[in-house]
Amino acid sequence: MRNYFVIFLVTLLIVIAANGSVVHAGDGCLADTVPPMSIANDSAAYVQQSELCDSVAVYGSVAASDTAVVKKRNAIQRFFDYFGNANKERSDKKFDISFIGGPFYNSALGVGIGVVGSGLYRIKGCARELQPSNVSIFGSVSTTGFYMIGIRGNNIFPEERFRINYTMNFYSMPSYFWGIGYENGNNDDNRTKMDRWQAEIKGEFMAKVAENFYLGVLLSWDYIRGGGVEKNKYLFEGMDLITRNYGMGVTLQYDSRDLINNASRGVYLCVNQMFRPHWLWNDYAFSSTEFIASVYKQVWKGGLIAGDLRGKFNFGDPSWAMMSKLGGSTAMRGYYEGRYRDMHYMAAQVELRQHIWRRNGAVVWVGAGNVFHDGKSFKHILPNYGFGYRWEFKKRVNVRLDVGFGKPGQYSFMFNINEAF
């Protein structure tokens, strides 16, 4: 636990030091153009920032002559300039992307390092006032042999007539499995080690059917392979350790948020209905209904309250790998994702996001959730709470360091990009 907080504090100090260095460097025009972190920005418009003084700094009083002395930036100065300039909207670049890295920790994966990249762009014909399309690239490795690489993004078309959202990730990890149901997940003796390899591809194509309403189709493919299981095989209830899942479905969404990945106001409602029938080459046929309801409201200067309620309900015969799972980096942060799994899942969370200084902010949250297989088994509520640091990496794109806690002994430290919800 002590090492866990050391990692968090060291990372926090490094980021704050970098923030202060780029703000207070000798380059005066940089200090003048660094905007505050837009965690609770009232404006949905993207106002073009003043351009930096070319790409070099001029020190001292420079007379109006052709003999001005320009000092070359050293490697350290260029490093801080890179992050200092990252959150400026570059109208001269059609595709603006930046990368940053940081550590993470949880009890199963150990200590690791992740690298994330954030890219912003506008599809031809999109007005400057329209929120930009975005793409996030991420990769991680850890001391236990875990590795992951993935990409996700949102394409916004002119006048928001269409949207395409996508996620692709591939990872290999030493994993643990406790079985299906709350009681199994709550039993420490059930912890069973396995080697897990997973690939996931999901896509959404939506068309605008009314103001803020979108209707679309869903496609998904999952491949999960579990291996190296030497004990407690009965916890898999006779299911295959290798599963392939092909799905298609429909989605209906209402979205009045000003920005998808860092909303300062608005409401987001989403209902997804997925089907994975036998005739679509699925060994385990089932359907799933998923909903998300999120709301964002400014409460005072620099302060934002965000609320989120979500659930997933499976019907039919899902495999152990496709059960509804609690935990992860989006909801119920602090729980090992998949320790608690069952047919159905629900979770709620409320988060306060506060801008502190320049590009720095902080969050605190509380939440609760549960997994269950029918109405009678919905009787165990799992608590969740935590806090985090935010740094505006790109224009209204935050890097987040979160420390999440669940039941006693369950916690994690997460490094990620974009808000949790």
What number of CA atoms fall less than 13 Å from residue 125's CA on the CB side? Answer: 8
End-to-end alpha carbon distance in the chain? 27
Residue pLDDT, tens place only, 128-144? 889 999 999 999 999 98
Tracing tokens 């320049």 back to the chain, one arrives at 358
Band of pLDDT at residue 102, cut at 50, 70 and 90:
confident
Q: What is the pLDDT of residue 266?
A: 98
- Structural domain boundaries, residue 177: 146-417
- Chain position carrying tokens 């200090």: 31
Can you spell out the DSSP letters for 255-316?
E--S-SSS-SSEEEEEEEEEEE-GGGT-SS-EEEEEEEEEEEEEEETTEEEEEEEEEEEEEE
- On the CB side of 258, CA atoms within 13 Å amount to 18
Q: How confident is the model at residue 21 (pLDDT cuts 50, 70, 90)?
A: very low
Report the alpha-carbon distance of residue 404 to residue 363 in Å, rounded: 11
Q: Which of the residue ranges 90-94, 107-111, 179-183, 366-370 would you say has the lowest mean pLDDT?
A: 90-94
Question: Looking at residue 86, what is its pLDDT?
Answer: 67
Query: What pLDDT was estimated at residue 46?
Result: 34
- Beta strand 382-394 with 192-210 is unpaired
Residue 263, token pair as written in the block: 């909303």
Q: Is residue 30 situated within a structural domain?
A: no
Are the C-beta atoms of 144 and 162 separated by less than 8 Å? no
CA distances from 295 to 73, 222, 309, 330 (A): 45, 30, 9, 15
d(CA 353, CA 336): 24
pLDDT value, residue 59: 31
In a domain, 17, yes or no: no
CATH number of residue 241's parent domain: 2.40.160.50
User: Given this model, what pLDDT does residue 73 score?
Assistant: 81
Q: Note whether 368 and 345 are within 8 A (CB).
A: no
Q: Which tokens belong to 302? A: 């620099």
The candidate with the shortest Cα–Cα distance to 388, out of 418, 368, 358, 409, is 418
Task: Read off the pLDDT band of 80 (50, 70, 90).
Answer: low
Residue 301 has pLDDT above 80, yes or no: yes
Element at 8 (helix H, strand E): helix 2-24
**Residue 226 in contact with residue 241, Cβ under 8 Å?**
yes
Q: What is the pLDDT of residue 61?
A: 34
pTM: 0.80
CA distance 308 to 182: 22
Q: Can you say how many angstroms the Cα of residue 187 is from the centroid of all Cα atoms in its chain?
A: 29
Give 306-316 pLDDT, tens digit per residue. Answer: 999 999 999 99
Residue 55, pLDDT > 80, answer: no
Phi, psi of 83 (to 5 degrees): -75, -30
pLDDT at 82: 67
Q: 18 CB contacts (<8 Å, ≥6 apart)? A: 80, 83
Of residues 417 and 58, which shows the higher confidence score?
417
Share of the chain above pLDDT 90, in %: 67
Cα distance between residue 282 and residue 276, in whole Å:
7
Residue 179, domain member (yes or no): yes
Residue 60 pLDDT greater than 50, yes or no = no
Residue written as tokens 């801008």? 355
271 lies in a domain? yes
**Structure tokens belonging to residue 5:** 């907080």
Residue 336 lies in a domain: yes
Q: Which two tokens stand for residue 89?
A: 């909207």
Q: Does 360 map to a domain?
A: yes
* Residue 129, in any domain of the structure: no
Asked if pLDDT for residue 20 goes beyond 90, the answer is no
Q: Which pLDDT score is estimated for 377?
A: 87
The answer to whether the CB of 99 falls within 8 A of the CB of 115 is yes
pLDDT digits (tens, 9 = 90+) for 327-377: 999 999 999 999 999 999 999 999 999 999 999 999 999 999 999 999 888
- Mean pLDDT over 21-40 rounds to 36
State the chain's mean pLDDT as an integer: 84
**pLDDT score for 70:** 57
Residue 141 falls within a domain, yes or no?
A: no
Q: How many domains does the chain have?
A: 1
